[in-house]
Chains A and B, each alone.
Chain A
Amino acid sequence: GEDVEQSLFLSVREGDSSVINCTYTDSSSTYLYWYKQEPGAGLQLLTYIFSNMDMKQDQRLTVLLNKKDKHLSLRIADTQTGDSAIYFCAEMDSSYKLIFGSGTRLLVRP
C-alpha cells in the first residue's frame, strides 16, 4: 500500500534555512502536500505541488519534487521561531484520501 515517510525531528537556528524531507510510494499521486500543525491546533495546508512540477516557490517556502526518486522536500528560508511546528507531508490517492507521513517536528532555536 501507499506509504509516506519523514524524519521525526529537525532543529535549526533562527535565520537559517530548514529543509524537511519526505519520501512517498504512490507514483500516481496527482498532488503532494505540506501541512503545518502548530501546538494545540489542527492542520493547516501550507503549500502543495502538482506532480508534473519540479519546483514551486511561495515566499519563504520552496517545494522540490523528484518524481524519479519519489522524494519531496520543503525548504523554509530565514526560519523564524513562529515556524516551530510539526510539518506533515501527504499524498492524495485516487479516492481523494490523504496519506500522511508521521510528521517532522521543527524546533527553531533563538
Chain B
Amino acid sequence: DVKVTQSSRYLVKRTGEKVFLECVQDMDHENMFWYRQDPGLGLRLIYFSYDVKMKEKGDIPEGYSVSREKKERFSLILESASTNQTSMYLCASISLLAGGVRDTQYFGPGTRLTVL
C-alpha cells in the first residue's frame, strides 16, 4: 500500500560529497515536492515540480538542485554537502487534477541525512 517511497531512510555523508536523494510515487501525480524538516522550524519547501523536466524553487533552494526526468521520480541533489544540510528530507506528491482535495497529499517516510 506504499505510495511514495524514498531511496534511503538514513544516510551519512561527508562534507563536500555529492548526494542524491530519490523519491518515487506510483500514483501518476503531476506535482512533487521536496521539503526539509528541522526541529522548531516545521517543513520548509526546497524545490517542487509541476511536470516532467519542470522545476520551481521553493523557499530554501540554495545548495540544492533537482531533477525530474520521469513523472514518477523526483530527485534532490546536494552538489557539495555541508554540515548545515544535516536534516530530515521529506518528499511529497499531489495530483493537480484533484485540486488539492483530501487524500491527494502523500508523503514519503523521509530520509534522515547526516553530513559529517
Bin chain A's interface residue count: 20 to 34
In the complex, which residues of chain B have a beta carbon less than 8 angstroms from the beta carbon of A48? Answer: 101-102
Interface presence of A44 (CB below 8 A): yes
**Total B residues in contact with A, Cβ cutoff 8 Å:** 28
Interface presence of B94 (CB below 8 A): yes
Q: Check A42 against B90 for contact (C-beta < 8 Å).
A: yes
B80-116 residues with Cβ-Cβ distance < 8 A to A are: 90, 92, 94, 96, 99-103, 105-110
Of the listed stretches A67-75, A76-84, A93-101, name the one at the interface; the rest are far from the partner chain.
Answer: A93-101
Chain A interface mostly helix, strand, loop or mixed?
Answer: strand
Q: Check A43 against B96 for contact (C-beta < 8 Å).
A: no
In the complex, which residues of chain A have a beta carbon less than 8 angstroms from the beta carbon of B77? Answer: none
User: Who on chain A is nearest to B58 by CB?
Assistant: A97
Instruction: Give me the interface of A with B, judged by CB distance under 8 Å.
Output: 4, 8, 30-31, 33, 35, 41-45, 47-48, 88, 92, 95-98, 100-103
